[in-house]
Structures are given as C-alpha cells and as structure tokens.
Structure 1
Amino acid sequence: MSFSIVTWNINSVRLRMPLVEKFLLEKAPDVLCLQETKCPDDLFPAKAFRKLGYEHIAIHGQKGYHGVATVARRPIEMVEKRRFCEIEDSRHLSVRFEAGGKQILLHNFYVPAGGDEPDPEINPKFRHKLDFVAEMNAVRADHDEGSASILVGDLNIAPLEHDVWSHKQLLKVVSHTPVETENFEAMRKAGDWVDLMRLNVPHEQKIYTWWSYRAKDWETSDRGRRLDHIWSSQNLVPSFSGYEILREARGWDRPSDHVPVVARFDLG
C-alpha cells in the first residue's frame, strides 16, 4: 500500500486557496499538512477541501497569524494541539491515521521564524525560536511493530551547509546561524528522527524549499533555503520511496514563498 504526505507553508490558506485546489487536483496526496494558515478555526475553508475529497480535517488556527492544519482523504484522529514556551500561538497539531497496518502519528509544526537579529539577548523573537526548538526535544519518534511516527512542517531552520545558497554568507543570518543549526540537529537526533529528504541525497547537493519575496527574480538568482522538512521514525525508512519538491509552485500567481514537498511511502 502506498500513500503520500505533503507539507506546505501556504502563507494564508484563504488567500491562496485557488493554488491549494490546483495542487490537490494535480497531485492528489493522501494527507496535506499546511502551516501559516493565518485563519481562525471557524473561518477555515473546510467546505472547499471536502469538495475536493479531503473530508477529514484537523485544524489549530489563529486569526491573522501562525496556524496549522492537516487535511486528509483517509480518516484521521486528532491527538494533540501542543503549546510551546507557555505561549498560545497555534504552531503544532498531531493526528493519527492507519496505513499499511500501522498506526502512524503525524506531527505538523510551524516553528517561529525568529526575526532578523540573531541575538537572543536583544531579540525576543530569536530567544523564543531557540526555546521552542529546545522544547521540541520532548517530541520523540515513537514506534514499535504496529506504529510509527512522522514529523513535517516549516521548521524555519536550514541545518546543513548545502541547505542554503551560500553557507558562508548566511552564517550570521537567522535560519542558518550555528546556534540554530547545532541545536536543531541535536534536537532531531535526541528524538531519534530520520531526515528523509537527506536520506539518499549527496551531502553536496543543494536542496531548497523556500525563496524570499525580496528577490526580484527568485528563479534566476536561486538564493533558496531548505526550511521545510520531513522526518520519520526509523521503522518507516525501508518504506520511504522518495520525495518531490514542487519548485514550479513558487512561480504560480500570487504564490507562497514556500513550495509543497511531497513524501511517498510504500508499506506493501
């Protein structure tokens, strides 16, 4: 049995619903995880998703800011909407679903961006980001013979040298500073998570999922970063059949600055 999961920071689900519809009609994933929906729960466009066959919906929304949502063509069970750093921001939800005889726990995250100044002493947004990642150490890749875990989302950190267009030039830029990347990788390893996007990709190969709105010609300059991630528990690695970054979505009309990332699994 095969299934696919997508992560996509949509940067306002209501504003970009036509793009979401286009994507779902073309790719038809089993599960779609959205971040930065910027929409309270009562205004989430559930009717539009159900019309497209995504009848199972879990949302953790917030007016004008943040927000995550997981929609699916298969039944999902809401597990948790976790609060981080004692702040009521809507940045996480987890659901459980069945696939290939396994109960899969799926985390959907939107990690704080952290502002522009990479100094936690003078920038409370950066302090919040570091504290948030530290608390994510408690999110583990739980698994056994009948269960597995997946974690996806806009994690707002490009951890590896070739996850950014210029390692040297971005070392003092928020999302790729050493304090972020080191803590991020330590957190991933502490939870026993596998970085699926780097699993069979040469270390020196560039991977981007985000291109800034500030670039006049994003495609030509190609100054991207890998801010969106797909992780799993160890026992899903044999069934992981690959991923696709839908780069062309960055060139769609009124796009998000992030593009969808599709992960596929074959549980046999």
Structure 2
Amino acid sequence: MAFTLATWNINSVRLRAGLVARLLQEEAPDVLCLQECKSPVDKIPREVFEALGYTHLEAEGQKGYNGVAILSKLPLERVGSMDFASLGHARHVAARLPNGVVVNNFYVPAGGDKPDREVNVKFGQKLDYLTEMRDWFHGDRPERAILVGDLNIAPREDDVWSHKQLLKVVSHTPVEVEHLDETQEAGRWVDITRQDIPEGNLYSWWSYRSPDWDSADKGRRLDHVWATPDIAAAGHGSRILREVRGWEQPSDHAPVFATFDL
C-alpha cells in the first residue's frame, strides 16, 4: 500500500479550514497531520474535510491553544495520546493505518524566548518534554511507525538561515539539538526528509515578523517526518510546499510531504 502523508502546523484549524481544504484538494495526501489546531475536538470543522473524502479523524484538542489532529482518507484506529512533562497540553495523538503503521503526530513546546530554564519556565518544559519522549522510546521502542509534527527544533546547520546567528536563539541552541538527537536515537528514527534531500538549506517556517519573508528567506526547518528503520527505506518523494506560506492569511509554517510504499 502506497500512501502520501503530510504534516502542517496550521495555527488554528477553524480560522484556516479553507486553507486546509485547498491543500487537500490540490495535493490530496492520504493522511494530513495538523498541529496547533487551537480547538476542542468537537469544534474542529470536520464536515469541511469529510466532504473532500477525509472521513477519518483522530485528535486531541483544547480551547485556544495547542491541539493535534490526524485527517485521513484511510481508516484510523486510535492508539492513544501522551502528556509528556505532565503539562496538560494537547500535544500528541497516535493512530494506526490499515497496513499496521502507527502515525505519531507531535507538537513539541516552542520553548519561549530565552534559552535558559532558570529564567524561562517554557524552555525548561520543552527540554523536559523531549526528555520524556526519549525515555518513552527507550522503554517502548517503536516499530513500523512514523513520527511527524512541529518539533520546534531545526537541528542541522543547513536547517536554519544562519547557524552562527541562531546558536543562542530558541529552536537551534546546542542543548535543544542534543535533546532532539537523543530522542531520535532512542527510537532509532530516520529523518525521511533529509534521507531524500540530504544536502542544502531547507526550511518549513518563516516568521510573521518578516513582511518580505520570501525574499529575506530567514527560515528554519521546524517540521519533520521520521520513520522507524524497518520502514524508512520505503519513504521517498519528500518535499516542502514553500508556496503555501504565501497563501492569503497563511500559517507561518509550510506543509512537509513524504510518500511511503508499504
């Protein structure tokens, strides 16, 4: 079974339901994972997506903040959700596809503005969240699984517009990259995007603060598609739809795609 999967931080699924519908119509992924939905599950405009053939939904939500959802043309069997670092946030949901592959959709905390847990509680929460993710994968090593989402870290030097200038900026600090690397290693996750596109600058997020985001191109690759080693070789066709960042009233993230032949 071949299927195409996409991940997108939508920054309000209710506000941008039309953009989600446009993406589904134009690109037609089999599965779309959304983050930062900012909606209780019962308020997600699922009828908009059902009309386009996405009749399956698994989600975790809360009013105004966070929230993750998996939209699918394919049947989904809910696996569950985890509340890492006991934050009480809707940041993870997992579901199984008909071929047995489990899709984990994550929205890792952004971490605030200062990369110092002594003065910034949010940064400490981010590190704790990643630590508990790591420990979970150590204790229950995943198989036939895909992990996607806004992980809020750009790990490689070519995942940011300026490695030197962002070394002390939240999302690219060495301590965050180390925590993400440990999490990835714990599950033996393979970075599918970089497996397909191993070289060159690659971004999925551009700040709203930059009105000329396209020409300035000060981006970061915060959104990821990983897979366990037993299915990683089946992943291909990775791409980031940069043009979506330029749609009217867009999210500040662009969707990331990959196809799996399983």
* TM-score range normalised by the length of the shorter chain: over 0.9
Deviation, structure 1 residue 244: 1.4
| Contact residue 247 and residue 259 of structure 1 kept, 8 A | yes
Give 3-state SS (helix, strand or coil) of 1:180's partner: helix
Q: Which residue identity does 1:115 align to in structure 2?
A: G
1:198 corresponds in structure 2 to: 194
CA distances 1:234-262 after superposition (whole Å, capped 9, x unpaired)? 01122112211100000000000001111
Identify which of 157, 167, 174 aligns with 2:170: 174
Q: Percent identity?
A: 54
Q: Which residue identity does 1:194 align to in structure 2?
A: V
Q: Provide the rounded CA distance (Å) in 2 between the counterparts of 1:10 and 1:156.
A: 14
1:117 corresponds in structure 2 to: 114
1:266 corresponds in structure 2 to: 261
* Pair 1:159–1:109, CA change in 2 (3 A): same
Give 3-state SS (helix, strand or coil) of 2:128's partner: helix
| Contact residue 4 and residue 29 of structure 1 kept, 8 A | yes
1:20 corresponds in structure 2 to: 20
2:37 corresponds in structure 1 to: 37
Give 3-state SS (helix, strand or coil) of 1:85's partner: helix
Give 3-state SS (helix, strand or coil) of 2:184's partner: helix
Q: Which residue identity does 1:107 align to in structure 2?
A: N
1:2 corresponds in structure 2 to: 2
Q: Provide the rounded CA distance (Å) in 1 between the counterparts of 2:236 and 2:7.
A: 16
Q: Provide the rounded CA distance (Å) in 2 between the counterparts of 1:41 and 1:172.
A: 36
Are 1:254 and 2:249 counterparts? yes
Q: Which residue identity does 1:249 align to in structure 2?
A: V
Deviation, structure 1 residue 141: 5.2
How many residue pairs get aligned? The number is 259
Are 1:215 and 2:176 counterparts? no
TM-score, with structure 2 as normaliser: 0.97
| Contact residue 80 and residue 94 of structure 1 kept, 8 A | yes
Are 1:130 and 2:130 counterparts? no
CA distances 1:1-32 after superposition (whole Å, capped 9, x unpaired)? 31011100000001001111110001111101
Are 1:184 and 2:150 counterparts? no
| Contact residue 4 and residue 31 of structure 1 kept, 8 A | yes
CA distances 1:77-116 after superposition (whole Å, capped 9, x unpaired)? 11111111112100000000123xxx10110000000000
**Unmatched tracts of structure 1, length 5 or more:** none
Q: Provide the rounded CA distance (Å) in 2 between the counterparts of 1:111 and 1:237.
A: 22
Deviation, structure 1 residue 59: 1.2
**Unmatched tracts of structure 2, length 5 or more:** none
- Tell me which stretches of 4 or more aligned residues in structure 1 moved more than 4 Å: none
2:228 corresponds in structure 1 to: 233
CA distances 1:21-62 after superposition (whole Å, capped 9, x unpaired)? 110001111101000000011211111111111001111011
CA distances 1:194-224 after superposition (whole Å, capped 9, x unpaired)? 0111114334x11100000001200000000
Deviation, structure 1 residue 175: 0.1
Give 3-state SS (helix, strand or coil) of 2:124's partner: helix
CA distances 1:119-171 after superposition (whole Å, capped 9, x unpaired)? 0011000000000010111135522xxxx100000000001111000000000
* Pair 1:241–1:202, CA change in 2 (3 A): closer
Give 3-state SS (helix, strand or coil) of 1:199's partner: helix
Deviation, structure 1 residue 117: 0.5
Q: Which residue identity does 1:155 align to in structure 2?
A: L
2:152 corresponds in structure 1 to: 156
Q: Which residue identity does 2:258 align to in structure 1?
A: A
Give 3-state SS (helix, strand or coil) of 2:22's partner: helix
Q: Which residue identity does 1:253 align to in structure 2?
A: E
| Contact residue 141 and residue 233 of structure 1 kept, 8 A | no
Worse-superposed segment, 90-99 or 222-231: 90-99
Q: Which residue identity does 1:95 align to in structure 2?
A: A
